[in-house]
Amino acid sequence: MKKRSTFEIRYLRTIIVFVFIATFSQLKAQDALFSQFYNNPIYYNPGYIGLNAGMRARFNYRDQWTGLPTDFKTYNFSMDVAERSIPGSGGLGLLVSSDRAGTGTIKSTNIGIGTAARIPIYTNMVAQMGFMVSYAQKTVNWDELVFSDQLNARYGNIYQTAFENPSSNRVSYPDFSVGGVYRFVETGSRWSNIQGTLGAAVHHVFTPNESFQGLNSPLPRKLVITGDLVLEIEQGRSSSYRSKRGSGGSSFKFNPGFQYEKQDDFSTYTLGLNILKSSIYFGVWFRNQDFNFFEARDAIFQVGFNAPWSKDSRCKIMYTYDYLITDLRTAGRASHEISLVFEFDNFSLFGGKTGGFNTGYRGSGAREMECCPF
């Protein structure tokens, strides 16, 4: 077996101690973070449930800081269905998340169901309020943990620990989140279509206790604010907006956006731009812990493909590469994220006129209000 250097031992020791402290002590841990938050909307805000017509199913995978001995892997599945045939309904949603840290030593699982109420404001404006109730569970394999009193700076893990394993290796609790979304649609001389969305949500409303040892270790509330614009330029095609959106059409689309997250003392700002042209996605984003993007912590690069099956259904595949700009990149290296999205515009659980365009609106903005143009 290859003998580890003193530097490697100290580095591993630092990581192990950090993971242990952040998970089991009185310090507060962060929720899993996704770079493609626009492909994981109901994870961040239940107000997005049923905002677009039909059904959306999303699979997300993130492998964070691949250079660490114990990297962090997160798996996420979400699905929401719009139900306009039910008065006042935005839709129904399902969310399943699994987070693994320390080669599986610490695991978190969350299963949630949610719904949203839809509030028409005007022909080109709509708001939604949503909530989600979840069952959360965390488990730990005490036998695989290495504590600081076991480590020798030269020879590594050679001592016995004084830590006594708690009687329980899991903790479970109910969790609640609420959120709201506002959307508008406009047209102009330069842009054939403009769609703007602004949302805010609060997670862990009742700050559930996460302690494995019967202590008071509340999970802090998290505030999430997101906003984006989809700006579309038509290029020599007279077909309707709805027909173009399934195939990519001849339009050129810009999608600038931002996200702000705050959980206890942790704050994260993300700002960037996606572009869609001929079914190909490109994106560049920057993330930092303050609003100074000239000294950003992460540079995020995205590529993807929009594969239409028909006018009303499509599959989106996106890959994101997170590059650490700071000196931590030597140890943490990059993070990788993959999203797979399936969209079916004419799907309905209750056999109505689908979420499609049975909106109760009148006016030219009604159809675009239901669309997911990016």
Determine phi and psi for 18, rounding to 5 degrees.
-60, -45
Type of residue found at 149: D
CA-based angle 33:260:303, to the nearest 5? 55
pLDDT for 243 equals 42
pLDDT cut 70: percent of the chain above it: 73
pLDDT for 182 equals 96
Residue 297's closest CA among 263, 330, 322? 322
pLDDT cut 90: percent of the chain above it: 43
pLDDT above 60: residue 260: yes
Determine phi and psi for 227, rounding to 5 degrees.
-160, 145
| Rounded CA separation 293/298 (Å) | 9
For residues 367, 370, 373, 374, the Cα torsion angle rounded to the nearest 10 degrees is 180
247: region left, alpha or beta (phi > 0 left; psi from -120 to 50 alpha) = alpha
Kindly list the domain boundaries of the chain, sorted by start residue.
Answer: 6-370
The answer to whether the beta carbons of residues 112 and 45 sit under 8 Å apart is no
Q: Please, what is the average pLDDT of the chain?
A: 79
Environment class of residue 235 by beta-carbon count within 10 Å: exposed (0-12), middle (13-18) or buried (19+)? exposed
Q: What is the mean pLDDT of residues 315-323?
A: 94
Which top CATH class is 6-370?
A: mainly beta
Top pLDDT among 20 and 156 is at 156
Top pLDDT among 335 and 191 is at 335
Q: What is the mean pLDDT of residues 266-285?
A: 93
pLDDT for 368 equals 60
Tens digit of each residue's pLDDT (9 = 90 or more) over 216-258: 889 999 999 999 999 988 755 443 434 444 444 557 899 999 9
pLDDT for 11 equals 44
Tens digit of each residue's pLDDT (9 = 90 or more) over 330-343: 455 688 999 999 99
Tens digit of each residue's pLDDT (9 = 90 or more) over 92-142: 999 999 987 765 577 899 999 999 999 989 888 999 999 999 999 998 876
pLDDT for 343 equals 94
pLDDT above 50: residue 16: no
* Neighbour count for residue 278 (Cβ, 10 Å): 10
DSSP H helices, the chain, are 6-24, 41-44, 241-247, 329-332, 365-370
| Rounded CA separation 254/273 (Å) | 7
Token digits of residue 198: 């602004």
Token digits of residue 362: 């009148």
Give whichever of 99-103, 145-149, 264-268, 363-367 has the largest mean pLDDT. Answer: 264-268
pLDDT for 235 equals 59
* DSSP bridge pairs for 283: 274, 302
pLDDT for 337 equals 94
Give whichever of 27-31, 116-120, 178-182, 323-327 has the largest mean pLDDT. Answer: 178-182
- Split at pLDDT 50, 70, 90, the class of 348 is confident
| Rounded CA separation 284/52 (Å) | 25
pLDDT above 60: residue 5: no
pLDDT for 32 equals 85
DSSP H helices, 210-252, are 241-247
pLDDT for 133 equals 98
* Neighbour count for residue 172 (Cβ, 10 Å): 13
pLDDT above 70: residue 70: no
